[in-house]
Amino acid sequence: MTELYILNLKDRLNNPVNDYLHLFTPERKDKILRYKHKSDQNRTVWAEILARHVIAIKTHQNIESIRIMRTSNGKPYISPEYNLEFSISHSGIYAALSIGNHANGVDVERLSRADHEIAEHFFTHEEKLILDSLNEEEFAKKFMCMWTLKESYAKCTGIDLMNVIKNVNCENIPGKNFFIDDYVIGVCCEDLPDEINEIKIPPALLIPAEENSRR
């Protein structure tokens, strides 16, 4: 069964990321450091560390030996020998990971990001009718449920996100929503998870040995 993990980033968003950059390729480091805000750097770093941490546990490897590669459209993957497929997402104070033996996708968003204009111009006709019948609070929740399912479906299938938003009805997506605080998570896969697994990763666990010895 595909599993869903989340990591709370609340106490990590303003930390320096230098202690963790040894885990990344030079190209990935450059992309991380191009973000102007530490919070954006940390979301990117910790979403991938979450993936590496869980993969390392499942494959009985050291976290530093896990090599995450990316396809031409940016989808992360690891060596086929491990028979694991995964997807990562981050928003606000959460990073999310879906992982299993089949294609899967995950998206996490804050409920406050609901957008009437996007729904009106891009969602399917059937979805617009549903959304138009709701009050503002119901609209926000339903919009984000739809959005995260569409995003997770795009990640799972590799179909262009805009194509999915315009043409794929959420009722036809093999997906599921989960809620935590004021965030909604969408997961798409054949074997949907039953629950959210909240994981804790001590920051010191990932500091290079030579750095850790000086602290």
CATH number of the domain that 184 lies in? Answer: 3.90.470.20
The answer to the question of residue 22 being in a domain is yes
The answer to the question of residue 62 being in a domain is yes
What's the pTM?
0.91
- From CA 57, how far away is CA 61, in angstroms rounded? 7
The answer to the question of residue 73 being in a domain is yes
- From CA 187, how far away is CA 3, in angstroms rounded? 10
Indicate the pLDDT class of residue 64, thresholds 50, 70 and 90: confident
| C-alpha distances out from residue 168 to 139, 155, 174, Å | 19, 13, 11
Indicate the pLDDT class of residue 203, thresholds 50, 70 and 90: low
The answer to the question of residue 170 being in a domain is no
Number of domains in the chain: 1
- More confident of the two residues 122 and 4: 4
Note down the domain range covering 58: 3-112+175-212
